[in-house]
Structure 1
């Protein structure tokens, strides 16, 4: 029998609010016994079939397990010799950092979790354990601390006799009174364990609170093969900070005869009167130097560079002063990257500021002869200036590929760069809109500049023919006057992008402090360029917000940027895309 409500005597009232009479209720009751019997039979059959299905599923699982167990014997990876597997493991090490980390989800530790054989191969491959980054929180129990020391020691022991790269980051606690009293003793124990490997340390990155530096210095022997030292002093405690100018730190450098790369970050007690040149570095071996954020004076910078004939990359700050001394030429034939930040104490009048900045910049660029320079970054931290073309006239930078200017320059000064850097590939201009009370500096990038860069029948050989990447940031501060007539028009910008995208231009980022208007035809052209592969991003700031940081998931996130390409941190505010 087919149990279908359509064939029921009560089909017309099923699903309605109809209330059956007493006689109808009796008829309904008489209809139910037979379908209930049939339901019981169906449930019994389901139980039987389910039991059969469960049994079949168990058989399936057993057969698959049998097959998989034997198929694994056929896996080609079983035929790979251990030395080949070891080489594969080495190529799996992270490439975004110089240092491996203590993470079971990453190489090399992940190879110790696969199987016994892989674990043994990994543990017996010294190249996997020659680098390590480890972090020590400021509040760590004694038991956990010493277990971490044991783990770090075991890791480094596996490296055999290979040179080591070590990154040591110790957390900083603002309130020293809550740090356990045993902390100095524990730190001493850790450093003693590390110093067992000092003769094999080739690269060391230290990020330590000021209180830990004396411990490190006092327990450190010599580092005969150390070529790279990065030091970041965190926090500032006057009662226990020796400082970089102390005999202690100087003696530490004295124990590094092979040092080639030196990076000094922090050290807030150091003033500009410190004679960095007196540090016992073998300056003639030095190839990379970073001193941040505290500035040096110009004589110190020139004196240091005059003793570093092998210098390849330098990043320093220079404080403006009234010195007008003549300096001798410094020839650095290997220098390919230079970043200089000019700073002022802000006490001078506007004209003095501008004059001293130009004089300092002119002296530096004229004294440092670096024909192989590939990347140059010039920055200025202080109230508004507008540098003329004077510091750049006469420069010869035919090999320059990357130019970054975070400094106010006149339109004429920008034009000079066309002739002195003909092979430029990457241009980064940052004008954050600094303004003095008695002067305002308009944008230095004009329509005339873009016309010089635009390929056209009247300009068949534009400037910077190899330009591939361009980043322009015009970010205003609240006090900056926004001109009603922008110096760049949509038509000129569109013509430039269209002509250069057909040549070498690959990416263009522009953030304006005013809205640039485009016609519908120009917008269509720009969208077409994006569809054809040009990485194009053009925005303008509609409104500035307050000085506080925005409450966003990525606020404060440090991101890695490709070498030579920087990313400007935009001010919090409201932006509008110009071409979407």
Structure 2
């Protein structure tokens, strides 16, 4: 629509008095037309609303009838049961939460609830958490109510499991305000154990992280009371283990079917245990290594008594000693995880005395001694050379010096498919990481079967080197092409390599690269204010 004021529109122009009158006269007809259009739109909108209302009614009618012929209504009862069972977590026990099965399944409809309640296998796995106590009476009153509720749920839950073997994990711990064995929280733990003990004949897998004194509630149980027991994990929550842990007063450890055992290294005493070591297939003696860890002698003595082991996790002390133990062969062991305090000679002492012909998965975590000491040059070369079937390796880069890391990587067996390297030196200003471009250069030339590479928190691997590595591996020059590359980079991006990798990604390569730049300096204009924005908020309390 033409206007004599077209040049002044959308500007800051201020019209004169006579121009104001002219503008008003120009707008008379457009405003009448605008009003007529609004009336027409309103009339059409009323027609649309009427049609929409009719459509909604028809849609409701159709949807209700379609629901009657929905395929899920025709699924047989036993098939639905199997589907429900497949929804249950397999890597852990079920929790008391309506956000996941089996409780969630009972909240869909009445028929599904009936199926869930009549399927014992859904209720055969349970994780129980004892509510923590605080220092205030009002808070503890709420805790008492929550304890009573969880006790009732636990009994009802396990009561629905029929005659199924049970997997139960129970998490407790010393009270923050009363960490000693006389703490009232232990009596709460005892209540939970008393609720679980009637189901002991059906215990198959148990994991109890409870105060040390609470184990007394299980002393009266004998081997005949736990005929189905296969795996046991005891993780006492206390700092006073050896003085009061009475292993011989726990006869259930002598059960004839136990094949898996897990415990913290603090309270591990080989001689006092009633376990049938010769039949164990899974063993975990865990840390933390800064507080405890087994000596090399104790580890070798224990492993020599477990010839059937398939998987093993050990916390190893950093104490170097004269070892007289002979070579230990574990021909069935496929998974080994070692966590050291200080690695170096302690790792060498152990690995040199192990023969693991069937090892598939190996994890080594720990810290090497400072540079310049004789023990700083740990190399896995001789050990890896003997692992002719190894498929997965996980290591900490700071376990090695630069030369020993490269030496170990050059010795990777041709069977290796998955490699994970974690850099623990990030954030340590005086420690230079040995995880750099040279590492990728070694992996480019060797390890022909490598499919998955995961590197966490590296800061010295360049984008150019990463692009060169992936390109070389994907062109087939070094063997099997990569399937997964996952990087957490502790620096800013210098080169966006994803466009160059697009052809490989389209052909199936999974690439995930996350950059975590350094935190900003403390020159924040928000300092002292309660609503400091990210990323300055990360330093707000420092």
Q: Same fold (TM over 0.5)?
A: yes
In the superposition, relative to structure 1, how do residues 53 and 332 fare at CA in structure 2: closer, same or farther (>3 Å)? same
Partner of 1:470: 453
Residue 206 of structure 1, aligned match among 188, 205, 208: 208
Partner of 1:537: 513
In the superposition, relative to structure 1, how do residues 200 and 469 fare at CA in structure 2: closer, same or farther (>3 Å)? same
Partner of 1:409: 401
The separation in 2 between residues aligned to 1:81 and 1:276, in whole angstroms, is 52
In the superposition, relative to structure 1, how do residues 334 and 544 fare at CA in structure 2: closer, same or farther (>3 Å)? farther
Query: Does the 8 Å CA contact 2:409/2:442 hold for their aligned counterparts?
Result: no
The separation in 1 between residues aligned to 2:151 and 2:486, in whole angstroms, is 47
Partner of 2:237: 234
Per-residue CA deviation, residues 216-259 of structure 1 (Å, 9 max, x unaligned), is 556787422211222333355x5xxx659621576255354322
The separation in 1 between residues aligned to 2:487 and 2:413, in whole angstroms, is 21
Partner of 2:483: 506
How much is the aligned-residue C-alpha RMSD, in angstroms? Answer: 4.5
Across the two proteins, how many residue pairs are aligned to each other? 463
Task: Find the residue that maps to 2:472 and give its secondary structure.
Answer: helix
1:367-382 to structure 2, matched below 5 A, reads 367-381=353-367
Query: Does the 8 Å CA contact 1:230/1:264 hold for their aligned counterparts?
Result: yes
In the superposition, relative to structure 1, how do residues 496 and 160 fare at CA in structure 2: closer, same or farther (>3 Å)? same
Query: Does the 8 Å CA contact 1:316/1:341 hold for their aligned counterparts?
Result: yes
The separation in 1 between residues aligned to 2:246 and 2:236, in whole angstroms, is 17
1:288 Cα offset (Å) = 1.7
The separation in 1 between residues aligned to 2:143 and 2:494, in whole angstroms, is 62
Correspondence 1:276 to 2:252: no
1:526 Cα offset (Å) = 5.3
Task: Find the residue that maps to 1:117 and give its secondary structure.
Answer: helix
Partner of 1:246: 245
The separation in 1 between residues aligned to 2:408 and 2:66, in whole angstroms, is 70
Give structure 1 stretches of 5+ with no counterpart.
1-11, 18-41, 345-356, 455-461, 477-485, 547-571, 574-580
Per-residue CA deviation, residues 14-67 of structure 1 (Å, 9 max, x unaligned), is 9979xxxxxxxxxxxxxxxxxxxxxxxx9xxx9xx99x969x969975x77766
1:294-313 to structure 2, matched below 5 A, reads 294-313=292-311
1:368 Cα offset (Å) = 1.0
Residue 161 of structure 1, aligned match among 156, 160, 163: 163
In the superposition, relative to structure 1, how do residues 411 and 119 fare at CA in structure 2: closer, same or farther (>3 Å)? same
The separation in 2 between residues aligned to 1:70 and 1:436, in whole angstroms, is 66
Partner of 1:84: 79
Query: Does the 8 Å CA contact 1:371/1:397 hold for their aligned counterparts?
Result: yes
Higher percent of residues as helix: 2
Task: Find the residue that maps to 2:377 and give its secondary structure.
Answer: coil
Give structure 2 stretches of 5+ with no counterpart.
1-19, 26-38, 133-139, 523-537
Partner of 1:353: none
1:86 Cα offset (Å) = 1.9
Query: Does the 8 Å CA contact 2:368/2:400 hold for their aligned counterparts?
Result: no
The separation in 1 between residues aligned to 2:434 and 2:236, in whole angstroms, is 38
1:332 Cα offset (Å) = 0.7
The separation in 1 between residues aligned to 2:22 and 2:428, in whole angstroms, is 86
